[in-house]
Structure 1
């Protein structure tokens, strides 16, 4: 979703959109343009929510519905986006526009996650769905480069936690690993659907040395994170904010000491990235145990303790946001400067599902871009 409003780094006239950025946690079905939904819905005769028949009112509806404090309620908004993403042409268009919007936001590497199994209602096969999205991504990259913007993207193929198709979707991801798919994820309702339900899928992926990120520590607690690491062999944690449950803070006069449990220590010591999504984490109640405002988000504490923290959008449509906006909100809340924003981007580049040489080149690109605006 594009925006004409620039997000300035607090205390400066620097637009964050101008800085090279990395997006690791961004859902395809959560990043449609409202105008596109209106047009696609009209083409298939899909009835939009009452009162949300134009792009502006529909965008407002998504933001209002998503701001529920519950992941389960938040996920109901996807009924609308998924409904209009059931044909090849629709998937190509949505994917193409998604990349165009990333380019407009200054993203130079983007990983785009989605669940192909949710897009088969009009007869597409799993492979056809993946191929359609890849075509759209390729077209978006080509269009961006034609406009003078260079970026790369990759698919993260997700399996829905409740659907028991994990092995099938893992095999799908592996079939497309050389044509644009860079990793595997599981998504959907977290509580009650642990990674152990898909252990066979994760064992296959481990055998094939294929990268995995898992939604964990968002709508469920530390045991969910344990399962992501142990059963899912996760290299990154989708959100992961409830890792704070494994950290004890003790006030010692003017100082506060942090004591890390074994899981938190493991995540920190091995540089397992936390894919935080500040606005979304507030909307879904992921940090409700600690508060309901941005200053209550644990990402700054994680940063101070040395965790590999990244900032992401999760769902740009539902949170009415961009990566630049999320970084502005974080900078405003925690008094971050340009060096802090750079550190977050280097964290994300280091955690990208890319070969090490490509990650190093990506970090060089980011550093050069930030130096240009320093």
Structure 2
């Protein structure tokens, strides 16, 4: 603070002096003279070099404060008088204080903070999760996958498909995977190891790639595509794309970061790990991740000599399922004529709304949430099949 009082009338202001040892205030007068802050009252008379006084930034409301080097302080409840005294003695607020006093500047700062947080969530967090996931050792990822699978016990049960049905699916996928691995090896590329588990579950027609390479395929998915092993190979090729790109681990990293941030804000880490299966079940891969998995599935199918058109068949079956519901999943005895009445009534509508219903809601559970619109995916797979 400049000591302009050296060349003119001394400007004084009333304040309360606290010695830093008790809460008792002392009424004083303060002024600046010859580089010294003078403090004078009935019980206090002292001076402090002005350069050693700390002047906290001025706020719109509340008392004004000056902190002295010995732990003492000065306070003034008359903010206007204090501010006028400081101005008269040559003090000028910095630009930070000026911005703090402007509601427009505060509003702009809040908006900028919101945009920064949004950008971090949309772009920064996925980038961080991807970088972290790619650097996690395979052994650690396997352990994470085993832990997640163990916690999913309540969501999955042993398959109710016949042993022959399961063997047919496993054999078809093993052949596809073998051809894909051979083609990739010829190009010097490695395919991450996977394990296929077929399970009964209440999550409906679905498939899920866990960290570490475990792929869960539900009985309802098999029923949805009427045991078509070529279509199921397309489903599994899509999930292999998630495994290859480590999308499951990326999702867990993102969930973990968000969960940890929330726990830091609210001060409660309890249940953070216990709810991982629930989070994994409700978390949706980004549309970019789904596009990567779709593109990967095309490569896998081509390596195996299967047309990517099977994925269009899959999407048509999902469109039909959105109209028919669980009636479509009931096993037929011997052909179309013996299908449940509800499935027969809406079967003729297949394809009429494909691509128009872009609801990637909880009905698709773990594996098919947040996919790009059906129309976009169908166009992609049709183009890939040419």
Higher relative contact order (CA 8 A, sep 6+): 1
- TM normalised by structure 2 equals 0.21
Higher Cα Rg: structure 1 or 2? 2
